[in-house]
Amino acid sequence: MVSTPYTKGRSREYRVLRILREDGWLCSRSAASHGPVDVFAGRKGERRIIQVKSGKAKISLKDREILKAWAQAYGARAEVWHFKKGGKVEKELIYDGRTPL
């Protein structure tokens, strides 16, 4: 199978879903999305919206603001999950769901 940026991104999104589900979250991905939110998750009244990035990819300042606006609209926590070389995941908080950052 040929690896494309889309298939790599999709596999990272599925990994996020597995991690969250193993921790008791109900979640879904925004398939073929070009928007700011890749994964939506909820658990016991908590909500998360997540943008997934791979390798050296970064989230732009504009996309950060859009992700934060979505989080504020839904009362959610906004995060960017960066998948680094070797499979390590770094989670970056953009908005905590309660107070402006």
CATH of the domain at 83: 3.40.1350.10
State the residue range of the domain holding 73: 5-95
Q: Would you say residue 48 lies in a domain? A: yes
Q: Would you say residue 51 lies in a domain? A: yes
Q: Count of domains in the chain?
A: 1
Q: Would you say residue 101 lies in a domain? A: no
Nearest-angstrom CA–CA distance, 60 and 57? 10
Q: Would you say residue 84 lies in a domain? A: yes
Q: Closest Cα partner for 49 from 84, 23, 13? A: 13
pLDDT digits (tens, 9 = 90+) for 28-84: 998 766 778 999 999 999 999 999 998 888 899 999 999 999 999 999 999 999 998
First CA to last CA across the chain, in angstroms? 42
Q: Can you tell me whether residue 52 is helix, strand or coil?
A: strand
The two tokens of residue 66 are: 């859009």
Q: Would you say residue 40 lies in a domain? A: yes
Q: Tell me which of 12-16, 56-60, 89-93 is least confident.
A: 56-60
